[in-house]
Amino acid sequence: MTTKTKEIFDVKKHACRPFDDMKELVRCLAKNRIVWCWGANSWANVDNKALRFKVQGYLHKGFVFLTVNGLDLFDIYLTNVKGEIKQVETDVYIEDLIERIDLLVETKR
């Protein structure tokens, strides 16, 4: 019998570097109407290395974690409420961030 271990999101393991201005990122996300279609709430700064918020989208219900990697691009982690990683998108440019999250959380094109 094989047991599958579910990976839990750990900011120390998955985040490469701290955010320079997390408040600015939250402002940019929050002013876009699409973000509110996801039911985004419970915004949190996790050790100044990840932005976490909860969503109730059509495709994903749980948490979204945003981290910045060594290329200064975003990595997106979708987790359930227990923190188990369900999906990962890496190397996302800031101008593509909302659209990529929308594809993962709300719409499937």
Domain locations in the chain? 11-105
Which contacts (CB < 8 Å, 24+ apart) does range 25-31 have?
25/51, 25/66, 26/51, 29/97, 29/98
What integer pLDDT is reported at residue 1 of this predicted model? Answer: 44
More confident residue, 83 or 21: 83
Residues 3-31: what's their mean pLDDT?
81
Q: What is the pLDDT of residues 33-89, one digit of tens each?
A: 889 999 999 999 999 999 999 999 999 999 999 999 989 999 999 999 999 999 999
- Structure confidence at residue 23 (pLDDT): 87
Its sign, for the CA torsion 45, 88, 73, 9, is positive
